[in-house]
Chains A and B, each alone.
Chain A
Amino acid sequence: MATANAWVGQSIKRKEDHRLLVGEGQYLPDIVLPRMVVMGFVRSIYAHAKITSIDTTQAAALPGVRAVLTGADVKHLGSVLSDMSTPNLPGETNRPIFWPLSIDEVKYVGDPLAVVVARDKYTLEDAIELVDVEYEPLDIVIDPEYALQADAPRLYPDWGDNVLYHQHIPAGDAEAAFAQADLVIKERFRCHRTGGQPMETRGCLATYNPGEGLTLWLTTQRPHIKRHLLAEYLNLPHSQVRVIMPKDMGGAFGTKAPLYREELMACHLAMKLRRPVKWIENRQESLMNVGQGRDQIHQLELALKKDGTILGLRDRILADCGDARTAIYVGFAMPFLGAMYLINGYDIPNVDIDLTCVVTNKACLTPSRAFGSFAGRFALDRAVEMAARALEIDPVEIRLKNAIKTFPHVSAVGVHVDSGDFPGSFAKACAALDYDNFRQEQSEAWQNGRYLGVGFSMGVEISGVPSEVLVPMERQPGFGVATVQFDAHGKVQVAEGDSPHGQGHETTIAQVVAGELGLSPEDIYVTYGDTHSGPFAAGTIGSRGASYTLSAAVLAARALRPKMANIAAHLLHIEAGEDDFVFRDGHAILTRDESQRVPIAKIAEVALLSPTELPPGMEAGLEHTSHFEAETAGMHSCNVHAAQVEVSPDTGEYKILRYVAVDDAGQPINPMVVRGQIHGGVAMGIGNACMEEFIYDENGQQLTTTLLDYHIPSSLDLPHIETIEHNVPSPHTPLGSKGKGEGTPGMVPAAVANAIEDALQPLGVKITDLPLTPERIWKLIQAAQSKD
């Protein structure tokens, strides 16, 4: 008999935290193998240059150095990108040809052009300094608009231009919509280069022997996919490649999803040297190479009726993808998905979106939470705000007028949104902010020379990506998978296909499996990360934990119950099936006579240790693997965020007085874990929107390669984040749960920008560019005042 899952909705403490808090986490650097050597890179100091010579003699002669390789030594490996590792999207794609090390030409500051292997990290850095590289600087392209010009230097001469990817996404009749419009908002929005910077940088440890093949410990969000691509690139049988994500990883935020040149290099060297090769990226390398996301220009037009109804949207998006040399995403999968999600929570029937992705002499874009859509959501929610002001409609009212009203909903460009409730979410946000009285408070404040403002944003966040989208986009499945397996002592191992690193799976999956099987979360242990001991899946990406993977675990646990019931009935010498039992308090309990019960540990023991007690003919063992695929082309979480700010007109400095996040987790499994995801997402969003920026100078030198210059906020820089649940259970998951966290940063920039602009209404500023630094706000105030 199906019963409510007793552990769902319980904010139990995370099972992960004890080991992390006492310093017993197992991270990549903790793994040490005999005969291990360390690897490091010589990286370009120019943004674009011919390599005229590389002299490795001095470095190779340094005692303790085991190998020095240059591009010429890896050319035989072939180009990194294959069909399997390049997004397969509609539109026109140019595919860059490149190797783990650059050959003849470097294309950004930080581009790896030689590799050194040494016995220790000190010798390694000494040797890296001794590699003598001569360059002949070439003309560079830093500005994406310049990249499009006919006279711009080319990164890939065989392409004919600098366009990596182009896609036109029309739907409905945008032309007619604009012809009927009472108001057209037309604006250029710019989102800077920013993204994720995990506490733990990238790293790997590769070891090889001809018997077992290659084993790679890797900081990755997707061990199975990496295995698959490594086998292809290194020309090894799939059976000879094992990828392991260490038990713990210090964050990823998207940056550990691509396949990188450095990890290919480590594998090649381990095979060549027959020694374990370890690589730990340092912080400078990390800031030079990964976490650089967003970076889009939107020329956005919105057609509206007088009453605020949005009739249509046009957007010309230009994405600066950098050098485009990482596998799987190749710098353009993010802007593509961003374009598909541009209209987001708005029901806009007529759209004309044109996306151009260009290459420049910068690091390749890497994924970051709010995958591709951070910039577009800023642009659209800003444009809606401008329309509201022009039409003198309340910002909440105009959003409710245009928000998706009925579910399921298929957007004009084909995004399926399963469930949500925008009016309910807005009502909670407004109540929390006492919005009805705010306008009065605001005008009184203005009279006293204080500038208070409120800003809203709304969002449809991915709750896992289905196979229907993931197969064409990244050539990988979207299903969630989990094996639920009793051990002989009645404890349950759940082997999942994802590789969590902060999402709390060990806790939440334990909760749901415990609930399904009548056990306690302490009885459940979750394993992951090793391609040789867990089921194949795409990895921890796109909020798929609570939507797909956890659902697979639920289904696998449920699939065990008939067998458990049959064993229990046999042990009780009665005729009964699954529907006659309830699983509770560690027992299979006969519902018609609760005194008739069998400990679940006993059932497991019979199934595994003493199969002689099994019903005649029953197979031993108690385990099941489920692959969960939702019966829809898209599951989503619908959210409303609001910020209240006070701005100093003298300095442009502002304080976020309130930040209210109304989020839809469907059915939260562990509300505390959900809150943690939202807190982290908002913090990242505030950092990205307000403080962080990867800055390149006119020579393509990156000026933000230490954390002294790349400004990640600390708790002192962040407001109290108020989280409010407004849950609409997903109709497509067994428990109604939804994935949370991935898209959250995308809610932030418009909420804060709208609030700042709202506060400064009497001064008439218009915010179109990020980041929202005080100086930028001050300059807008100055410009507005000089216009008067």
Chain B
Amino acid sequence: MYPKAIENYFAPTDVAEVLTLLHQYGEQAKLLAGGQSLMPLMKLRLVESQTIIDLNQVAALDDIREEDGRLHIGALARHADVATHPLILQSYALLADAARNIGDPQIRNRGTIAGSLVHADPSADYPPAVMALDGQLVVAKADGGTRTVALDDFLAGPLMSDIGEDELVTRIEIPAPAARSGGAYAKHSQVAGDFAIISVAAHITLDPSGICQQASIVVGGVMPKPGRAEQAAGLLQGKALDAPLLTQAGEAAAEEVETEDDVRASAAYRSQLIRVTVPEVVRQASTRAEE
């Protein structure tokens, strides 16, 4: 449980410097943000990295603010900050729900949102929540350019994401929800703070009469990455969210999202959890939308 020798350790203080180092060291470099996945992997010698670029000295990478109708979350924002930030609690409660569910207080104090998304564990808490909110990642490139990519496209598979060797995620952007919107997130895990057997994130917009105008439902804990329950969400569109409809949506989600067996649970049990959890989460999201 001790890592291989590390040849180079850098602690740059701005993004440009990070990008230069990434350009220089390429695939042998690993970025250290909160270290909550990287450090265990290095100690288990599943990751043997010769060069560590520590991002923790980079200024202004942990900002949380609203700008131009979008929520900006700096790459280094810790889970504990996301879970408790007034702006997020007020308008993006779903994200705070997800952050609160991650690990334990020590992990939440260190772990970062971009670190989690880049790590791309299909059972992690953030990916379904950020997907349900149509979140995007802003990626800085060594050549000075930037690109913006939807999380749906960024997540490529289990522990695989669309990030180049010389790229750095600098922030997450989430469009501000329309009026009368609400979201919720719930997770089933074997013990508190564990990775999900199944998690469900839902985001709903209602019209003044309570009719669902927009819905997105994303399921985590499935392979190869969190899955959108589009048919389930489609069922809700243009309708009042009564109990039979929610049950139907649960059935649809269980039907459309493919599940697999692993050491934590069987595929059939996962499907059942989706069936049961989707209505609960949508109900909570719509309650929040009406608040």
Chain A interface residues (CB < 8 Å from chain B)? 121-122, 124-126, 129, 282-284, 648, 650-651, 653, 691, 695, 703-704, 706, 708-709, 711-714, 716-717, 773-775, 778-779
Contact = CB atoms under 8 A, between A and B. Distances in A.
Contact of B1 (A283, A651, A773, A779): A283
A711 B272 contact: no
Contacts, number: 56
A720 to B, nearest CB: 15
Interface residues of B, number: 23
A779 to B, nearest CB: 8
Given A713-B191, A775-B265, 7 more contacts: A122-B2, A691-B191, A704-B263, A716-B192, A717-B192, A773-B190, A779-B269
Nearest to B5: A122
Contact of B45 (A124, A129, A779): A129
A695 B263 CA distance: 8
B276 A650 contact: yes
A24 B239 CA distance: 63
Nearest to A124: B2
B65 interface: no
Interface in B246-291: 263, 265-266, 269, 272-273, 275-276
A653 B45 CA distance: 36
A703 B191 contact: no
Contacts of B263: 695, 703-704, 709
A681 B1 CA distance: 30
A262 to B, nearest CB: 16
Contact of A651 (B44, B195, B276): B276
B110 interface: no
Contacts of A653: 188
B195 A714 contact: no
Contact of A691 (B190, B193, B272): B190
A711 B191 CA distance: 6
B104 interface: yes
A650 B195 CA distance: 21
B273 A712 contact: no
Contact of B269 (A282, A703, A775): A775
Interface in B1-50: 1-5, 44-45
Contacts of A129: 45
A651 B198 CA distance: 12
Nearest to A282: B1
B134 interface: no
Nearest to B4: A126
A284 to B, nearest CB: 7
Interface string B181-216: 000000010111111000000000000000000000
Nearest to B277: A651
Contacts of A714: 104, 191-193
Interface in B152-202: 188, 190-195
Contacts of A284: 1, 44
B238 to A, nearest CB: 28
Contacts of A695: 263
A383 B4 CA distance: 54
A775 B2 contact: no
13 contacts: A648-B276, A650-B272, A650-B275, A651-B188, A651-B272, A708-B194, A711-B190, A714-B191, A716-B193, A717-B192, A775-B265, A775-B266, A778-B269
Contacts of B275: 650
Contacts of A775: 265-266, 269
Contacts of B195: 708
Contacts of A778: 269, 272
A125 B45 contact: yes
Nearest to A125: B2
Contacts of A704: 263
Nearest to B198: A651
Nearest to B194: A711
A693 to B, nearest CB: 10
Contacts of A703: 263
A713 B189 CA distance: 12
A352 B188 CA distance: 44
